[in-house]
C-alpha cells in the first residue's frame, strides 16, 4: 500500500518528538571528528508546505511545532530543533516544515553522508528536488527502505545513525521493523538506530517496544509522549514513541527534563503523559 502521505501530518506532535530526538542524536555524533552516515528508510518528500491543501486540511501542526514556535523558555536541546525548523522559514512565519532529511541536512558536516529511501511515486521526485543542492552528500533510492537497508550497512566510516519510521499502514510493518533491526544489528552492531512508532489502541503498536527490548544490544532508550486520552472508539493516534538502540549515554538525563516540558505544552487534555525508560550498558 502506498496511500500514506505525510504531508497531512507534517509538524504534528509526533514529528516534534521524532525530529527533536533526530537533532539531538546527530548533535551527539558531531561531537567526534570522524564522519558518519545518516540513513533514512522512509524519507518522505523531504519538506512540506504548511499552507498547502494537505497540511492545512487537519492543521495538525497547530498542536505540534506551532505551540513551540514562539516560546522563549525551551530547553536547550528542544531550542536547537526549533532553530532547524526556523531555518526553513526565514521570514519568521511558520509556512514550511522539514521532513527528516532536511532536519538532518543542516547538521551534517562536509564529510558526512545521507542515504535516503522513499518508494512513493509522488513523494520521490519531490524528495529529489528538495535534496538537489546536496547531491554530493546524498544518495537517493526509489525503493523499499526495509530491503535497501542491507545494501548500505555497514557504512564505510563505521559510524552512523539509522532512522526507521514507516507509516505502519499495514500490520506487517511492525514485524518488518523487528526483522530489519535483527538484520541491521548483524551487519552493523555498533550503529545507533532510532525507531519511531505511533501509539494506537492496537496490539501491534503496544507490543513493538516490548519486542525491540529483546534485540541483542547492551543499551537502549525508550521515550514516548501521549498528548490526549485515547479515543473511546479506539481509533486515532494519541501519541508516539521513539525506541533508540545504542543511544548516547547522556540523552536519558536530557529527556527527563524535555519530556515533561513537551507533555505540558503539547497536551490536549489531562490524559497527556510521557514514559522514559532505558537499559544502560
29 within a domain of the structure (yes/no)? yes
Is there a contact between 197 and 243 (Cβ–Cβ < 8 Å)? yes
1 within a domain of the structure (yes/no)? no
The active-site residue out of 40, 112, 165, 173 is 165
43 within a domain of the structure (yes/no)? yes
Q: Which helix (H) or strand (E) holds 253?
A: helix 251-266
Looking only at the bridges linking them, the beta strands covering 160-164 and 37-40 are parallel
37 within a domain of the structure (yes/no)? yes
Please state, as a whole number, how many other Cβ atoms lie within 10 Å of the Cβ of residue 56.
15
Q: Which of 191, 167, 185 is nearest to 240 (CA)?
A: 167
pLDDT at 146: 95
96 vs 51: CA distance, rounded Å: 8
110 vs 117: CA distance, rounded Å: 21
User: What are the strands, taking DSSP E only, across 124-186?
Assistant: 138-141, 160-164
Task: Indicate if 27 belongs to the active site.
Answer: no
Residue 166 φ/ψ, nearest 5 degrees: -65, 165
Handedness of CA 174, 179, 180, 182 (dihedral sign): positive
pLDDT at 224: 98
Q: How many CA atoms lie within 13 A of 154 on its CB side?
A: 12
User: What are the strands, taking DSSP E only, across the chain?
Assistant: 37-40, 47-49, 96-98, 113-117, 138-141, 160-164, 192-199, 220-226, 239-245, 273-279
The domain that contains 98 carries what CATH number? 3.40.50.150
β-sheet with 220-226: strand ranges across: 138-141, 113-117, 37-40, 160-164, 192-199, 239-245, 220-226, 273-279
198 vs 79: CA distance, rounded Å: 24
**Domain span holding position 121:** 6-279
Residues 71-84, buried b or exposed e (16+ Cβ, 10 A)?
eeebbebbebbbeb
Residue that is written with C-alpha cell 526507521 in the block = 164
225 vs 205: CA distance, rounded Å: 14
pLDDT < 50 positions in the chain: 1-4
Please give the tally of structural domains in the chain.
Answer: 1
Amino acid at each position: 500500500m502506498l496511500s500514506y502521505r505525510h504531508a497531512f501530518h507534517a509538524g504534528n506532535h509526533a514529528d516534534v518528538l521524532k525530529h527533536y530526538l533526530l537533532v539531538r542524536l546527530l548533535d551527539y555524533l558531531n561531537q567526534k571528528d570522524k564522519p558518519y552516515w545518516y540513513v533514512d528508510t522512509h524519507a518522505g518528500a523531504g519538506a512540506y508546505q504548511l499552507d498547502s491543501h494537505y497540511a492545512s486540511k487537519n492543521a495538525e501542526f497547530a498542536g505540534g511545532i506551532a505551540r513551540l514556535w514562539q516560546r522563549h523558555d525551551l530547553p536547550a536541546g528542544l531550542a536547537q530543533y526549533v532553530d532547524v525548523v526556523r531555518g526553513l522559514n526565514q521570514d519568521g512565519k511558520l509556512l514550511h516544515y522539514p521532513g527528516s532529511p532536511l532536519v538532518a541536512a543542516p547538521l551534517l558536516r562536509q564529510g558526512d553522508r545521507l542515504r535516503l529511501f522513499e518508494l512513493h511515486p509522488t513523494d520521490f521526485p519531490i524528495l529529489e528536488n528538495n535534496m538537489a543542492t546536496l547531491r554530493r552528500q546524498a544518495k537517493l533510492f526509489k525503493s523499499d527502505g526495509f530491503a535497501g537497508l542491507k545494501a548500505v550497512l555497514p557504512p564505510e566510516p563505521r559510524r552512523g545513525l539509522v532512522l526507521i519510521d514507516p507509516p505502519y499502514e499495514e500490520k506487517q510493518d511492525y514485524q518488518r521493523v523487528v526483522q530489519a533491526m535483527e538484520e541491521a544489528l548483524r551487519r552493523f552492531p555498533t550503529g545507533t538506530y532510532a525507531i519511531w512508532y505511533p501509539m494506537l489502541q492496537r496490539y501491534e503498536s503496544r507490543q513493538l517496544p516490548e519486542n525491540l527490548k529483546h534485540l541483542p544490544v547492551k543499551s537502549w532508550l525508550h521515550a514516548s509522549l501521549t498528548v490526549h486520552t485515547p479515543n473511546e472508539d479506539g481509533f486515532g493516534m494519541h501519541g508516539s514513541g521513539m525506541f533508540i538502540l545504542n543511544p548516547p549515554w547522556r540523552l536519558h538525563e536530557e529527556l527527563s527534563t524535555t519530556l515533561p516540558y513537551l507533555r505540558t505544552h503539547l497536551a490536549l487534555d489531562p490524559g497527556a503523559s510521557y514514559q522514559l525508560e532505558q537499559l544502560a550498558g
